[in-house]
């Protein structure tokens, strides 16, 4: 296989990309808080992959990522399975119909995906009284901003994988 040839296992590469950023998030960045929060990188990966691959592939990737996040201990219940799937579907639809597969689109949909996933968790916990509205600007928004720092790296890697797939 030549260096410039197609990647025969594109989805394995996407999975490796997700695993890489999962390890980065949980085993390296877990020691570095900014504004008292940690980043959440899987939604960024899902948004970028879905933007390039479309709604069906994006939603399946989101589903797989959600199951992995749930079973790896990242979430205490299955909510993220559905949220990641929906996020992948929406980002994929946006990429297929409206938005160009540019970094700006990836950045925008990373924000939207983060707000869908972590935002729903925030709203659920707010509804059951586990936290107060202030968590919106003390947790949710800083977490989104911190996560976006890594969006260029995610976008670049996903773009490369897509280009060779």
Partner 1 sequence: MKKIFSTRLRVILAASAVLAALIIIFSTVFSSTSVFSNAVGVILSPFRSAASAIANRFEDLYGYMYEFDGIKAENQLLKEQIAQMEQEVRDAESASEENTRLRELLNLREKRSDLQFEAATVVSWDTSNWGSCFTVSKGTRSGVEVGMCVITETGAVIGTVTEAGLNWATVTTILDDSVEIGAMVFRSGDIGVAQGKFDLMKDGLFRLSYLPADAQLRNGDTVLTTGAGEMFPGDLVLGYIKDVGMEDSGTTKYAIVEPAVSFSDLVQVFIVTSYEIDG
Work out whether the CA dihedral 114, 116, 117, 123 comes out positive or negative.
positive
Rounded distance, CA 49 to CA 30, Å? 24
Nearer to partner 1, 11 or 103 (CB): 11
Nearer to partner 1, 103 or 119 (CB): 119
Nearer to partner 1, 30 or 102 (CB): 30
Using rule CB under 8 A, residue 5 touches partner 1:
no
Contact with partner 1 (CB under 8 A) among 14, 17, 21, 25: 25
**Beta bridge mates, 37:** 34
What residue has token string 């040839």?
5
Q: Which two tokens stand for residue 94?
A: 């946006």
Footprint on residues 87-126 left by partner 1 (CB under 8 A): 89, 93, 118, 121-122, 125
Using rule CB under 8 A, residue 131 touches partner 1:
yes
Cβ–Cβ < 8 Å for 105, 90: no
Contact with partner 1 (CB under 8 A) among 112, 143, 150, 155: 143
Residue 141: Cβ within 10 Å count: 16
Residue 32, helix vs strand vs coil: coil
Contacts with partner 1 by CB under 8 A lie at 23, 25-31, 36-40, 55-56, 59-60, 62-63, 66-68, 70-82, 84-86, 89, 93, 118, 121-122, 125, 130-132, 134-135, 138-139, 143
């Amino acid at each position: 296989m030549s260096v410039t040839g197609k990647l025969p296992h594109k989805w394995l590469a996407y999975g490796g990309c997700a695993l890489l950023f999962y390890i980065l998030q949980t085993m390296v960045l877990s020691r570095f808080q900014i504004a008292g929060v940690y980043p959440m990188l899987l939604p960024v990966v899902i948004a970028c992959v879905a933007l390039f691959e479309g709604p069906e592939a994006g939603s399946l990737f989101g589903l797989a990522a959600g199951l992995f996040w749930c079973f790896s201990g990242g979430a205490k219940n299955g909510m993220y399975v559905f949220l990641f799937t929906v996020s992948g579907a929406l980002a994929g639809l946006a990429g297929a119909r409206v938005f160009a597969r540019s970094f700006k689109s990836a950045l925008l949909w990373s924000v939207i995906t983060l707000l869908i996933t972590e935002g729903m968790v925030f709203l659920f916990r707010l509804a059951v009284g586990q936290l107060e509205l202030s968590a919106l600007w003390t947790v949710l928004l800083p977490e989104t901003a911190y996560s976006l720092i890594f969006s260029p790296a995610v976008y670049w890697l996903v773009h490369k994988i897509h280009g060779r797939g």
